[in-house]
Amino acid sequence: INLIGNIRAETGLGQSCRLVADELEASGIPYSIYPYEQLGSMQEGNYEKYNSKICDQLPYNVNLIHINPHELGLVFQQNREKIWNGRYNIGFWLWELEEFPDEWTPCFRCVDEIWTPSEFISRAVRKKTDKPVITIPYHVEAVPGDFTRGDFGLPEDLFLFLMMYDKNSMTERKNPMAVIAAYKKAFRPDEPAGLVIKCGSCDAQELEALRSELAGYEHIYFVTETLSREKVNSLISLVDVVVSLHRAEGFGLVMAEAMFMGTPVIATNWSSNTEFMTPETACMVGYRMVQLKRDYGVFKKGNWWSDPDVDEAAGYMRRLYEEPELYKKLAAGGKAYIESA
């Protein structure tokens, strides 16, 4: 298999590509990695473990093209003969809503088959094509490095909640304001419970908006620099709880990795993350479905996504802070569930 994608990108899509490479390595199937740089500037990591597989040739007759449809047309125009011709082409695609965009359906002509990491995505894609659509879940592993809270500027004596998102993944979808609202409902400013906000690609205006929502709260910590995968894993393992009040997820890697490392998760009970969570292994937050009133990047007006219940999320935050037995149960249960899945 020729795996085509940006193996070094410090993004969720880059991590997805690395997980697919790890699965190919574990399978024993011969493979190479053909590096493709996504549109726009993107910070890249080293990831030396993949160097021996990176190649500017395509030695095998099956392509696994880890490039989402909104870029696939351009890649096809640039590299039609070199990449596509004479090979069996599989697209590895991610998507976050129940309806696959009609404007992306011409991309089906570029592939013979589609893989996705969740049945939630596969169902959406199958509505628009009769080509094979196969769910290939990630094999989740996360190894933290030898770091302490102090390495991130975090205190040792507070109960810490972590929210992580990248602005390039669409702030409105990741919904950080809901986490902030839940935290403010759950805790007074003087209580020893803090909120860590890991924000990638955030400009000064977005950071100021987040800070203004938290005015008067002392225990707020921002992590804005790009971190290596080892440091990301460490941050997740060092906090007490990960919170994701997303409106939609194509998989939810941060949540899965947190569970793998024994960090309890509070998450919206909708979209792909429900395929590796249960009410016994995570705090699943109720929601109502809302229709998009305008476009948010690739998420177009008229589509639907979830609006998580902030009050319920605040209740879970409070319970995990106050109830050590519940905390231990979810930490152990989440880890066991991911390891056995």
Residue type, 115: W
Alpha helices in 167-309 (DSSP H): 171-174, 176-186, 204-213, 229-238, 253-260
Place of tokens 């997740």: 236
Coil vs helix vs strand at 306:
strand
**pLDDT tens for each residue of 211-231:** 999 999 999 999 999 898 899
Are 150 and 156 in contact by the 8 Å Cβ rule? The answer is yes
Separation CA 313–CA 256 (nearest Å): 18
The pTM for the full model equals: 0.95
Q: How many residues does the chain have?
A: 341
Separation CA 243–CA 266 (nearest Å): 5
For residue 181, how many other CB atoms are within 10 A of its CB? 17
pLDDT at 40: 56
Coil vs helix vs strand at 327:
helix
pLDDT at 305: 98
Integer angstrom CA distances of residue 58 from 2, 16, 55, 68, 116: 6, 21, 7, 20, 22
Integer angstrom CA distances of residue 16 from 151, 254, 298, 326: 26, 11, 19, 31
Pick out the chain residues at pLDDT < 50: 41
Structure tokens at 49: 């473990």
pLDDT at 37: 75
Are 264 and 320 in contact by the 8 Å Cβ rule? The answer is yes
Residue type, 206: E
Place of tokens 């053909």: 34
pLDDT at 90: 98
pLDDT at 45: 73
C-alpha neighbours within 13 Å on the C-beta side of residue 172? 12
pLDDT at 11: 83
Separation CA 222–CA 34 (nearest Å): 35
Separation CA 56–CA 35 (nearest Å): 8
Separation CA 232–CA 211 (nearest Å): 22
pLDDT at 42: 58
Roughly what angle, to the nearest 10 degrees, separates helices 253-260 and 229-238? 60
**pLDDT tens for each residue of 98-148:** 999 999 999 999 999 999 999 999 999 999 999 999 999 998 989 999 999
- What values do phi and psi take at 81, rounded to 5? -70, -40
Kindly state the DSSP code that residue 88 receives in the 8-state scheme. E
